[in-house]
Amino acid sequence: MTKATLYEELSVESLQEEEKFTTLTARAVSSRKIPRFYGVLYLPPEELEKATPTLKGCPVLKDHEPSVDNVIGRVREAYFKEGAVYAELELYKNDPLVDKIKEGLVKSLSVGFERDLIWSDEKQCFLAKNIRFKEISFVVMPADPTATVLSEEEAEFFSEDIAWVKDPEKRKKAPSDYFLDPSSRRYPYKTWSGEVSCELLRRAMSLASLHGHTQIYERAKSLYERHCKEKQSSDCGCEKLSEVSNMHENLEALKKENEELKKEVKLLKKEIEELKPLAEAGKAYVESLREETKKFIKVALGDNSPMLSIVDSLSDIGQLKAIHDEYERLARQKLKPSSREALPEGELEGITPEKLEKMSYKELLELKEKFAKEVN
């Protein structure tokens, strides 16, 4: 990621006076194509919008000089609107620069930022990606704003083998066929040793496209496709091609696996829907078994037996069934008379195990009390 600067004509949206500060809102940077020494730089609006929050809190400087004396405020707020980033600046009222801004003597604003530089074949220019704002400065607009860049950005592009294009003496000495426009010695495209430079061809394509130099653009594009795209393919090598092929095969396998998983999920959902009625029936059976077990417990142990709360908390149907069977036995044993003679004549007439099973809880209690009185 490399540092760079961009200039904007100062356009003040609002200016207010506070106790300690003068606040003004101005356009910091807008989405556009900008001629640079290495070609055309494009600031995509989506990248600027994504970077906008990084401008908040940045220092406001004079002439991009990061010294204590040159800090004149900070960015209070930043927002994105209609393809541009706007900054609300908080400036110290006692700084002489504030008066120069008010009087219109300082007319330029510049942002310092870091970015990745990506070449786009589609747009035929360089794209600024992963932008991160570092500071904002008031500056005097240079005669050629596109020529003013930080040395780090310049070093990023001009590697040693193409650095000759910055040297006026070497440009004069270079063979005419080093230029796409030999007559005016513009648009260099070769290294000092005479090899085609893909970096210089990209620079030539973007600048020629910007200035409408169609013939230069077409020649640069033809050379780029012949030398640079073939080089990219060969540099890739068999290993890279094999890697891409393997990635493609893995992708297809994953797609197939994904489709199989979708089918399995669909079948499972169908099974779940089919099992829902059985689950509801099972739930109803458990509740019925629970209630019946509680009836037997009340007959065997009474209404206040702690077993009642234990049965309410049981979720294991096996345990519940075992308790049910045990207390059914105890309840029937308790209701069974000690001797047939102890009961009034005809009292057992018509009472069978089947009839007892069909009796309600109330009927069983009444029968229990009747047997208890007769026995006592």
Query: Which tens digit of pLDDT belongs to each residue from 31-46?
Result: 988 877 677 889 999 9
Q: Does residue 151 or residue 286 have the better pLDDT?
A: 286
Is pTM, for the whole model, over 0.75? no
Please choose, from the candidates 100, 76, 59, 97, the residue with its C-alpha nearest in 3D space to the C-alpha of residue 24. Answer: 76
pLDDT digit string, tens, across residues 212-267: 788 888 898 899 888 887 555 444 444 444 455 566 667 778 888 888 888 889 88
Question: 200: how many CB neighbours lie within 10 A of its CB?
Answer: 27
The reported pLDDT for the residue numbered 179 is: 93
Structure confidence at residue 372 as a pLDDT band (50, 70, 90):
low
Q: What does the pLDDT read at residue 230? A: 59
Find out whether 258 and 266 touch, Cβ atoms under 8 Å: no
Residue linked to tokens 């290993």: 239
Give residue 124's pLDDT.
Answer: 81
Q: Which domains does the chain possess?
A: 2-153 (3.20.16), 160-227 (no CATH)
Q: So what's the pLDDT on residue 149?
A: 36
- Looking at residue 163, its pLDDT comes to 82
Encode pLDDT of 177-201 as tens digits: 999 999 888 889 999 999 999 888 8
Q: How confident is the model at residue 117 (pLDDT cuts 50, 70, 90)?
A: confident
Q: What span, in angstroms and rounded, lies between the C-alpha atoms of 19 and 371?
A: 100
pLDDT of residue 60: 92
Count Cα neighbours of 111 within 13 Å in the Cβ-side half-sphere: 27
**β-bridge pairing 71-81 and 59-62:** antiparallel
Whether the per-residue pLDDT at 134 is higher than 50: the answer is yes
Tens digit of each residue's pLDDT (9 = 90 or more) over 49-102: 999 999 999 999 988 787 888 899 999 999 999 899 999 999 988 888 888 888
Task: Please identify which residue in the block is written with the tokens 């600048």.
Answer: 207
Q: What is the pLDDT of residue 143?
A: 34
pLDDT on residue 88:
92
